Structures are given as C-alpha cells and as structure tokens.
Amino acid sequence: MDNETIGSTLDQVADLLEIEGASVFRVRAYRGAARTVSALASPVSTLPEKGPGSLEELPGIGKDLAGKIRELAESGELALLHELKSRTPESLIHLLELPGLGPKRAKAIHEGLGIDTIEELEKAAREGRLRALKGVGPKLEGQILEGIAARAARGKRISLAEAEAQVEPIVARLRETEGVAQIEVAGSYRRRRDNVGDVDILVAAETSVAIGKKLISDPATDKVLADGDTKTSVLLKSGLQVDLRVVPVESFGAAMHYFTGSKAHNIAIRTLGVRRKLKISEWGVFQEDKRVSGEREEDVFASVGLAWVPPELREDRGEIDAAREGKLPKLVERAELRGDFVGGKLDADGIAAIASACEATGAAWLVVLGASRHDVEHAQKHAGKVTLFAGAVVSIGAEGLVGASEDVDVVVGEIHAADLDEKSLTQALIAAAKSGRIHVLARPFNGGKPKQFDVEAVAKVCRAQGVLLGLDARPAFLAGADGYARAVKDTGAQLVITSRASNAEQAAHVRFGLDQARRGWCEAKDVANTLSAEAFGKLLARR
C-alpha cells in the first residue's frame, strides 16, 4: 500500500473512532499519524526496521501506531479497521464517504434526522431538510448532492471499448508533459477485461513533474478526488474515475506489475517472494530492505523464477504454474488474423468498401453475412486480393433444427430460443452442431446477456464435427467471452472471432474479440481467423 493510501486509511480509522466516542487523544494520534505518513518522502516499506529513520522514531508515532502502519504497508489490510467497521452502522460508513461530511456531521444527520441511507440523505438534501441541523446551510446541501451524484457514477463499470475511447486522447495529451519518461495504462484496462471500474495510469518521472496538475486541468476532467505528489484521482465528465500515479524510473516495472494486477495474481506473486525472503511491492523487489530490482516488469517475474506473463493472463488462473514450467501459451496476435465475418445489409458497394478497409489491416478473406450471392460476386471484382465468401445466419430452434440455408458458402447457426434452460439449450446446440448444416455455431445471447450452457460438452461435439464456435467481437457481446474462449480451447475445438461489422470502423472491433480470446489463453491454432483464405475454404468444404 502506498503512503497516501495508508494515510487515508488511518484517517478513516480516526473518523470511526470519533463516531464511537473514543478519547480525543486517540483520535488525534491517528489523524497525526495519517498526516505524517502521507508526507513521508520515501515509501513506508523502505524505512529501516529499527533505529534512526524508522517508523517508531517519527514524531507522534510510537510502537503501537508503527505496528498498524506496517500491517497496512505489508498486507494492505488493518484488523482494527475491520473491527471498527463491523461495529459502526453501515449507513454511517456510507455517509462518511461523501465530501463535506466529517464524523460529527454524519453522526448528527444519522441520529438527529434518523437518516440511514444515501437515498434518504439525497431526498432530505433536495427538500432542504438538512438545514435544520446546526451549521448546515444550502452550500453544504449542494455539496452533498454533488457527492452523491459522483458516487453513483463511480459505482458503474463501463465497457473496455468506451474506456478506451475516453482514455486514449487523455493519455496522448499527458504524454507531452515535460519530464515524463514513460506513461502506460495499467489495471483491468491493461489486462483487457471487457469492462473496467476505473482507469489506472502510471507515469515514470520525478515527483516534481506537473503531470497531476495536467490531468486536473484536462478538458475531460470534471472533479478532483485526490491531489497529491504521487497520486492524483479525478472523475471525468462521463463519471469514469482516473487514478494517476507517478513513480521513479527505477520503480516503474514493479509499479506496472503491481497496478496491472489482478489483486489475486499480485498476492500469489508476493507469496512466492516471501518464500525466497523477498519483499515485492509497487516500489521494487527488496531483500532485507535492499532494492534488488524493479525497473523492468520482467525483473519482478524473474525474481521469483518466472517468465514474463502477458497481462491478459494475470488472473491467478494457472498462469503462475505455466510461467514456472515454461508452458505459457503463445497468445494469438492481431497481425496473425487473416479473416473476419462482416454483415448487416451490405450492398455490393458497401461490401467492396469494407473489403478494402479490411485488406489494409491484413485481411485475406471475409465472410459476408446476409448479402445476396450476386452482390458478393459483384463486389469480389472490386475487393482487391480479399477472398469473399457468401454467408448466412440461420436460426436454431429448440430441437436443434436449423432453418433453410440459402445458396451460401458459410452457414452460421444462431439460437433464438430465449426461454430455454441451461440443459435444453446445451442439447439444442449439440443437435445443431450435429445437423451437418452449419459451419459456425454462434454464442447464444438473450437480451444482450450471454446464455448459460455447457460449453465443454458443446465444444467437444463441435470439435468432432468440424464446426467452429463463434466469438462475437461487438463490444456489447463480450461479457464472459474470456471464460468461453478458454473452455473452447481446452477441448481442442476452434473459435472464430466475428466483428459482424457493416463499416470499416466497426471492423476494428475485431480486436476486442481478440482481447477476450487472449484472456482465454488462445493461440493462433485455436482461432480460425488465422487461417489463409485457401485453408479456410478447405475447412468449409469439409462440411
């Protein structure tokens, strides 16, 4: 845990102690310690254990507080805080998170007005009822309402595609700051999760660079949540939170590793470190308080005997054993993709336009869904070197029966039986795969949500039948696609990523499908988009 987070955690302890009516001295001691730790020039984890310069020797911090601070720095947790939280009404804890509400006011609102929830607080503030309390005026009411709105926006996760659209221009602007050696986005964004809670940007620079100020004055920024030397947090106008951290160049690799996460992966790595008597933190790898590495991310893995693990795999789902045994997959890459499925009422001109856009990004073949064979053949004359296949999407009923397939090269079976339970859906998909009439089985969705079924059982049949399993790359269809891809890969069946684009811009979505295939450990051999036009044509002919 970094110093500023430790500081704010100690402040939280002070708040809860104050609400409980603890002695003013105890409350004051925690507040003082919070200030002292936040202002420290070097991270707590690098201070000597004893003697001059150690925690105990800092003003106002005795043995007891030093122990608490160490507990936080090393484990990121504090038993006392858990205890305090379990004794405090939950509503009060929520009230405390709002700007402008200290422990005294929160307690007064809770006890004086009988307000238990944020909803009740919002209603009271709107109706001007908070003013009945001493020291509360319209200004504070307004502040509380703003805080509630920001909190609501913060609670939401947004799609990776949406986050990318917002964050890329900001990073491009920040990159121009003088004195910035490196800038990268870490967190779930770097792991390519299909949705992200907040965005973590990491900068290697001297702490004196003005990059935090630059984020605060960025045109996309709406509100400032934290403004420190090493950490700045803002809410964008969209409600998305951005955390920016500045670390010295020699810690950049360790910080990238830490802030990329996932938390579960970090804990597993740190545990490996402990066995080797190494302390691994966001500041570096330390042996008896001496830094042994941390400038490059590879060094962190190497310090515990592991190969570098691609961020998409860092979920503690077997990547650590694989990295130790040299069995990490060689994840499929964008440059290996040779084909895609496009569609959506394209005429011959539309098909030719998307074909030339896809050719520019490396496509050798395209399946055009839903267009007439005549239009596809016509477009082929203007499609450069891209081989076009005519395709159709046909419905699968509850019995697995497939509707009439037209005169096409590729048939995609899609289930529309929204009310099927897991077992009947699995059966219907298996029956469709065995029908001998489809080349691709689409992933079933209902109302934008993926439907549950036994992926392994279905994929096994698909493998035996030479049927590909579709992975829809449209941003709204990515939920759970990583687990699906992993299950398909593990049975030895093949996926095919489909952008279903009707224009060049949407065709770029294929990389979001690729992200999830990579999170599912897929290599080139697991994804049919990597086939040449000829090999893909042969695969179709087997049907």
Interface residue list for ligand DGT (CB under 6 A): 76, 187-188, 196-198, 200, 258-259, 261-263, 266-267
Candidate list 7, 43, 187, 273; residue touching Ca ion; CB under 5 A: 187
Cβ at position 316, least distance to ligand DGT in Å: 11
Cβ atoms of 280 and 300 closer than 8 Å: yes
192 vs 439, beta carbon nearer ligand DGT: 192
Closest to ligand DGT by CB, 187 vs 400, is: 187
Stretch that binds Ca ion, among 46-54, 196-204, 278-286, 403-411 (CB under 5 A): 196-204
- Which range of residues in 237-245, 289-297, 311-319, 406-414 is near Ca ion by CB under 5 A? 237-245
Q: Which does 262 bind (CB under 5 to 8 A by kind): ligand DGT, Ca ion, none?
A: ligand DGT
CB atoms within 10 A of CB 542: 9
What is the CB neighbour count within 10 angstroms for residue 85? 14
Smallest gap from Cβ 23 to ligand DGT, in A, equals 30
Q: Which helix (H) or strand (E) holds 390?
A: strand 387-396
Instruction: Specify the 3-state DSSP secondary structure of 410.
Output: strand
Minimal distance in Å, beta carbon 17 to ligand DGT?
A: 22
Count of CB atoms within 10 A of residue 193's CB? 23
Residues 6+ away with beta carbon under 8 Å from 520: 481, 482, 483, 484, 485, 486, 487, 488, 489
388, 351 contact by CB (below 8 A): yes
- Minimum CB separation of residue 77 from Ca ion in Å reads 17
For position 164 contacting Ca ion by CB under 5 A, the verdict is no
Please report how close the Cβ of residue 314 comes to ligand DGT at its closest, in angstroms. 8
Give the whole-angstrom CA distance, residue 260 versus residue 183. 13
Q: Taking CB positions, which residue lies at the least distance from Ca ion? A: 187
- Closer CB to ligand DGT, 266 or 530, in the complex: 266
Of the candidate spans 140-148, 241-249, 339-347, 500-508, the one that interacts with Ca ion by CB under 5 A turns out to be 241-249
410 binds, among ligand DGT, Ca ion, none (CB under 5 to 8 A by kind): none
- Cβ distance to ligand DGT smaller for residue 73 or 367: 73
253 binds, among ligand DGT, Ca ion, none (CB under 5 to 8 A by kind): none
Start-to-end Cα distance in the chain? 56
Number of helices and strands in the chain (H, E): 23, 19
**How many C-beta neighbours within 10 Å does residue 39 have?**
12
Q: Cβ closer to ligand DGT: 9 or 426?
A: 9
Instruction: Give the sheet arrangement for strand 284-287, strand by strand.
Output: 279-281, 284-287, 290-293
Q: Which of 2, 243, 312, 515 contacts Ca ion by CB under 5 A?
A: 243
Q: Which does 512 bind (CB under 5 to 8 A by kind): Ca ion, ligand DGT, none?
A: none
Report the residue number, 122 or 198, with the smaller CB distance to Ca ion.
198
Burial of 208 (0-12, 13-18, 19+ CB in 10 A): exposed
| Helix segments in 284-386, DSSP class H | 297-303, 319-324, 348-360, 373-380
Residue 261 binds which of ligand DGT, Ca ion, none (CB < 5-8 A, kind-dependent): ligand DGT
Distance CA 368, CA 495 (A): 18
The binder of 38, among ligand DGT, Ca ion, none, by C-beta within 5 to 8 A per type, is none
Q: Apex CA 520: angle with CA 467 and CA 488, to 5°?
A: 25
Nearer to ligand DGT, 3 or 499 (CB): 3
Q: Which of 529, 463, 447 is nearest to 496 (CA)?
A: 529
Q: Please identify, using beta-carbon distances, which residue of 157 and 373 lies nearer to ligand DGT.
A: 157
In the complex, residue closest to ligand DGT by CB: 261
The residue among 57 and 198 lying less far from Ca ion, judged by its C-beta, is 198
Given the DSSP bridges, would you call strands 231-236 and 241-247 parallel, antiparallel or unpaired? antiparallel
Residue 267 touches which of ligand DGT, Ca ion, none (Cβ within 5-8 Å per kind) = ligand DGT
H/E segment holding residue 449: strand 449-450
Least distance from C-beta 193 to Ca ion, angstroms? 9
Q: Which of 120, 198, 250, 454 binds Ca ion (CB under 5 A)?
A: 198
Give buried/exposed letters for 2-12 (b at 16+ CB in 10 A, else e): bbbbbbebbbb
Size of the site for Ca ion (CB under 5 A): 4
Which is nearer to Ca ion, 243 or 414 (by Cβ)?
A: 243
Choose from ligand DGT, Ca ion, none: what does 483 bind? Cβ within 5-8 Å by kind.
none
For residues 254 and 183, is the Cβ–Cβ distance under 8 A?
no
Work out which of 15, 164, 194, 200 binds Ca ion, going by CB under 5 A. 200
Q: Which residues bind Ca ion (CB under 5 A)?
A: 187, 198, 200, 243
